[in-house]
Structure 1
Amino acid sequence: MTEAVETLVNITEPAANKIKELLEQEDNSEYCLRLQVVGGGCSGFQYRLAFDDQIADDDEIVDYDGIKVVVDPLSARYVEGARIDYVETEMGAGFKIDNPNVQTTCGCGHSFSA
């Protein structure tokens, strides 16, 4: 496993607070937050955020205020410099990823091309 520079992925304070809240509900101190880029959607790629208790030797890890964010090597090239935020609006709440590597997004905003 590789300790990544903190600029691989950044987490806003609202996102960190929500992640900590969700981790407490899971009641598993071994969990990390895995950020993955997977194929799918109308633009080609989608993000997957999930708790995981497995860290591969070649995963990159960003530690943010006690939260381990784990990114596999393939996904790392697509998310370098990205920022994970948590947004609450009248329409709902959820995590939002601002990614400087995205070239285009689909109309619904759930997939992207890079």
Structure 2
Amino acid sequence: MYNIKLTKNSIKKILKITKKKLYFRIYIIGGGCNGFKYNFKLEKKIKKNDIIIKKNNIKILIDYISIKYIKNGKIDYLENLEGSKFVVNNPNAKTTCSCGISFST
């Protein structure tokens, strides 16, 4: 329904950091270069209005407002000389910043 895709790198990293019965949350906030910004965090509990995406033994939590901005997107995890980070390839974004953290619709 929401068709969130995960790369092999993101699956591997999410499985590693959620071992202790934690959930992986993706959410959108205002800010960044282009208006909206992706954020990721670990949660201990599922909230009442959360949408739960189950893939590869992972439960991803997304609130009902954020899901409309990232549906059909792909989550990747990158490690390079600049550091490590989760990145969203978002087909709904009209513009993105060069760092890949913010976008506009």
TM-score by length of 2: 0.88
Q: How far has the Cα of 1:88 moved from its partner?
A: 2.5
Which of 37, 52, 66 is the equivalent residue of 2:57? 66
Identity of aligned residues (%): 34
Which of 80, 93, 96 is the equivalent residue of 1:105? 96
Runs of 4+ in 1 over 6 A off after TM superposition: none
Asked if 1 retains the 8 angstrom alpha-carbon contact of 2:53 and 2:61, the reply is yes
Q: Say which SS state the counterpart of residue 18 (structure 2) adopts.
A: helix
Q: Say which SS state the counterpart of residue 66 (structure 2) adopts.
A: helix
Q: Which residue of 2 aligns with 1:14?
A: 9
- Following superposition of structure 1 onto structure 2, how do residues 1-114 of structure 1 map, counting pairs within 5 Å? 5=1, 7=3, 9-24=4-19, 27=20, 29=21, 31-114=22-105
Q: Which has a greater percent of helix?
A: 1
51-60 or 37-46, which moves further after superposition?
Answer: 51-60
Q: Say which SS state the counterpart of residue 50 (structure 1) adopts.
A: strand
Q: Root-mean-square deviation (CA), in Å?
A: 1.6
TM-score by length of 1: 0.82
CA offset digits 1:48-103 (Å, max 9, x no partner): 10011222232111111111001111001101011111122343322111000111
Q: 1:61, 1:32 → 2: CA distance?
A: 10
